[in-house]
Chain A
Amino acid sequence: ETGVTQSPTHLIKTRGQQVTLRCSSQSGHNTVSWYQQALGQGPQFIFQYYREEENGRGNFPPRFSGLQFPNYSSELNVNALELDDSALYLCASSPDGHTQYFGPGTRLLVL
């Protein structure tokens, strides 16, 4: 039990739609990171937020965006969904920059 929760657990969208995924982490975890995991692959870093500011970004287009809120929750928004966006989306929070605690993920299917 990591104390990191994500919602929804599963989601089905159609190509071109927009989606918002949510993550809630533990009090005091100032850093939150989002990862995308395609089937059979390791997680790929999307971006990271530290104290509500973006603090690093992986090789993902601008239609992937995020927010972090003062209450240790965060959002991942994806616009203009494509079929290849179908994946498990993971958020991870960290209290110290060392150890990251992952949530269970949101499985997104784009049809």
Chain B
Amino acid sequence: DAKTTQPPSMDCAEGRAANLPCNHSTISGNEYVYWYRQIHSQGPQYIIHGLKNNETNEMASLIITEDRKSSTLILPHATLRDTAVYYCIVRVGFGNEKLTFGTGTRLTIIP
């Protein structure tokens, strides 16, 4: 079973920041938080991952709470191409552990 809880859907206006929450209250100390997204009919795309520090890359920022029980993925300036299903996944970051996908959040960017 997926170890995360996400809202089923969200809307965001184009050009605004999209903030996608994820609850992972049972996360273990050696588990990372990963975010993937899946644009309609394509394979999932890796976005970002983190352990306990906030992370930023060219696609997004990941904010993890101090107790690590929740996190937020931030897309700073959402575009129509960011419309997708976003998956928050926790897993051990080594040993080739599988990805366990939940149902994700369907993010719709509104023009």
Chain A residues near B (Cβ < 8 Å): 2, 4, 31, 33, 35, 41-45, 48, 50, 55-56, 58, 88, 90, 92, 94, 97-105
Complex Cα distance, B2 from A45, in Å, reads 12
Question: Out of A56, A97, A105, which one reaches B43, CB within 8 Å?
Answer: A105
Complex Cα distance, B49 from A20, in Å, reads 33
Q: List the 10 shortest-distance A-B pairs measured between CB atoms, nearest first.
A: A42-B101, A102-B43, A45-B98, A97-B96, A102-B44, A43-B101, A31-B96, A99-B46, A104-B43, A97-B94
Query: What residues of chain B lie closer than 8 Å to A103, measured between beta carbons?
Result: 43
Kindly state whether residue B102 has any CB partner on chain A within 8 Å.
Answer: yes
Beyond A42-B103, A42-B104, A99-B49, is A50–B96 a contact (Cβ under 8 Å)? yes
The proximity string for B residues 32-45 relative to A, scoring 1 for CB distances below 8 Å and 0 otherwise, is 10000000011111
| Closest chain B CB from A43 CB (angstroms) | 5
Kindly state whether residue B100 has any CB partner on chain A within 8 Å.
Answer: yes
Chain B count of residues within 8 A CB distance of the other chain: 23
User: Which chain B residues numbered 35 to 72 have a C-beta less than 8 Å away from chain A?
Assistant: 41-46, 49
B-side interface mostly = loop
Kindly state whether residue B29 has any CB partner on chain A within 8 Å.
Answer: no
Question: Out of B43, B96, B97, B98, which one reaches A90, CB within 8 Å?
Answer: B43
Query: What residues of chain A lie closer than 8 Å to B85, measured between beta carbons?
Result: 42
Closest to B46 in A: A99
Query: What residues of chain B lie closer than 8 Å to A56, measured between beta carbons?
Result: 96-98
| Closest chain B CB from A98 CB (angstroms) | 5
> Contact: B99 with A45, CB < 8 Å?
yes
> Contact: B102 with A102, CB < 8 Å?
no
Query: What residues of chain B lie closer than 8 Å to A102, measured between beta carbons?
Result: 43-45
| Closest chain A CB from B2 CB (angstroms) | 8
Query: What residues of chain B lie closer than 8 Å to A101, measured between beta carbons?
Result: 46
- Contacts A43-B101, A104-B43 aside, 17 further interface pairs with beta carbons under 8 A come to A2-B43, A42-B2, A42-B85, A42-B103, A44-B101, A45-B99, A45-B100, A56-B96, A56-B98, A90-B43, A90-B44, A94-B96, A97-B97, A100-B99, A102-B44, A105-B41, A105-B43
